[in-house]
Structure 1
Amino acid sequence: MHNDSHFQPFWFSEALKQESDNTVNVLKDDIQTDVCIVGGGYTGLWTAIQLKQQQPELDIVIIDKGLCGSGASGRNGGCMLTWSTKYSSMKKLYGEEEAVKLVRASERAVYEIADFCETHNINADLRLNGTLYTATNKAQQGSMDGVLDQLSKHEVNSWQQWQRERVQQDAGSALHCEGIYSPAAASVQPALLARGLKRIAEGMGIKIYENTPMENISTEIPITITTPEADIFTKKVVLALNAWMLEQFPQFKRNVVLVSSDMAITQPIPDKLHTMGLKDGKTVIDSRIFVHYYRSTSDGRLMLGKGGNYFSFGNKISKVFDSPSRYTALLRQSFNKLFPSLEKEKFAATWTGASDRSTTGLPFFGYLNDNPDIVYGLGYSGNGVAQTWIGGQILSSLVLEQDNEWSKCGLVSGPKGSFPPEPIRWCGAMMVRDAIRRKESAEDNDKAPFWLDKQLAKFANAAGKADKA
Structure 2
Amino acid sequence: MPMRPFWLAQALEADTSAPCVPLAQDTDADVCIVGGGYTGLWTAVMLKQQDPGLDVLLIEADVCGAGASGRNGGCALSWSAKYFTLERLFGVEEAVRLVKESEHSIQAIGAFCEQYGVDADYRLDGTLYTATNRAQCGATDSVIAALERNGINSFSKRPVADVQRMAGSSKHLEGWFSPAAASVQPGKLVRGLRRVALQLGVRMHENTAMTGLEEGRPAVIRTPHGRIRAKRVVLAMNAWMARAFPQFERSVAIVSSDMLITEPRPELLKTIGLTTGVTVLDSRIFVHYYHNTPDGRIMLGKGGNTFAYGGRMLPVFDQPSPYAGLLQKSLAQFFPAFAQVPVAATWNGPSDRSVTGLPFFGQMSASGNVFYGFGYSGSGVGPCHMGGQILSSLVLGLDNPWTRSPLVNGPLGYFPPEPIRYLGSLLVRNAIRRKERAEDHGRRPRHLDVRLAKFAAAAGKADKG
Q: TM-score normalised by the shorter chain: which range applies?
A: over 0.9
**Equivalent residue in structure 2 for 1:426, among 414, 422, 426:** 422
Range that drifts further, 427-436 or 15-24: 15-24
Q: 2: CA distance between counterparts of 1:62 and 1:107? A: 28
Aligned ranges 1:136-285 → 2 under 5 Å: 136-285=132-281
Question: Structure 2 counterpart of 1:362, which letter?
Answer: L
Q: 2: CA distance between counterparts of 1:280 and 1:439? A: 32
Q: CA deviation at 1:6?
A: 2.8
Q: 2: CA distance between counterparts of 1:21 and 1:404? A: 37
Q: CA deviation at 1:340?
A: 1.3
Normalising by structure 2, what TM-score? 0.99
Q: 1: CA distance between counterparts of 2:108 and 2:213? A: 34
Superimposed CA distance per residue, residues 140-173 of structure 1 (whole angstroms, 9 cap, x where no aligned partner):
0111111111111111000000000000011011
Question: Where does residue 13 of structure 1 map in the other structure?
Answer: 9
Give unpaired runs (5+ residues) of structure 2.
none
Structure 1 residue ranges (4+ consecutive) displaced by more than 6 angstroms after TM superposition: none
Percent identity of paired positions between Structure 1 and Structure 2:
54
Q: CA deviation at 1:24?
A: 3.2
Q: 2: CA distance between counterparts of 1:42 and 1:6? A: 20
- 8 Å contact kept, 2:215–2:365: no
Question: Structure 1 counterpart of 2:192, which letter?
Answer: G
Q: Is the partner of 1:105 in helix, strand or coil? A: helix
- 8 Å contact kept, 2:21–2:206: yes
Question: Where does residue 29 of structure 1 map in the other structure?
Answer: 25
Q: 2: CA distance between counterparts of 1:21 and 1:91? A: 44
Q: CA deviation at 1:369?
A: 4.2
Q: Aligned pair 1:119/2:103, yes or no?
A: no
Q: Aligned pair 1:393/2:389, yes or no?
A: yes
Q: Aligned pair 1:51/2:47, yes or no?
A: yes
**Equivalent residue in structure 2 for 1:286, among 282, 298, 316:** 282
For these two proteins, the number of residue pairs brought into alignment is 465
Range that drifts further, 365-374 or 53-62: 365-374
**Equivalent residue in structure 1 for 2:304, among 278, 302, 308:** 308
Q: 1: CA distance between counterparts of 2:458 and 2:112? A: 35
**Equivalent residue in structure 1 for 2:447, among 435, 444, 451:** 451
Q: 2: CA distance between counterparts of 1:372 and 1:192? A: 35
**Equivalent residue in structure 1 for 2:370, among 356, 368, 374:** 374
Q: 2: CA distance between counterparts of 1:455 and 1:370? A: 42
Range that drifts further, 17-26 or 375-384: 17-26
Question: Structure 2 counterpart of 1:299, which letter?
Answer: D
Q: Aligned pair 1:66/2:51, yes or no?
A: no
Q: Aligned pair 1:327/2:323, yes or no?
A: yes
Question: Where does residue 436 of structure 2 map in the other structure?
Answer: 440
Q: 2: CA distance between counterparts of 1:404 and 1:144? A: 33
Superimposed CA distance per residue, residues 167-207 of structure 1 (whole angstroms, 9 cap, x where no aligned partner):
00110111000000000000000010000000000000000
Give unpaired runs (5+ residues) of structure 1.
none
Q: Is the partner of 1:116 in helix, strand or coil? A: helix
Q: CA deviation at 1:368?
A: 1.1
Question: Where does residue 383 of structure 1 map in the other structure?
Answer: 379
Question: Where does residue 85 of structure 2 map in the other structure?
Answer: 89
Question: Where does residue 349 of structure 1 map in the other structure?
Answer: 345
Q: Is the partner of 1:411 in helix, strand or coil? A: helix
Superimposed CA distance per residue, residues 232-282 of structure 1 (whole angstroms, 9 cap, x where no aligned partner):
011000000000111210111111000000000000000001110100111
Cα RMSD (Å):
0.9
Q: 2: CA distance between counterparts of 1:37 and 1:63? A: 6
Superimposed CA distance per residue, residues 52-96 of structure 1 (whole angstroms, 9 cap, x where no aligned partner):
111111000000000011100000000000101100010000000
Q: 2: CA distance between counterparts of 1:119 and 1:220? A: 38
- 8 Å contact kept, 2:321–2:348: yes
Q: Aligned pair 1:296/2:292, yes or no?
A: yes
Q: CA deviation at 1:9?
A: 0.2
Q: CA deviation at 1:410?
A: 2.1
Q: CA deviation at 1:353?
A: 1.7
**Equivalent residue in structure 1 for 2:357, among 345, 353, 361:** 361
Range that drifts further, 218-227 or 440-449: 218-227
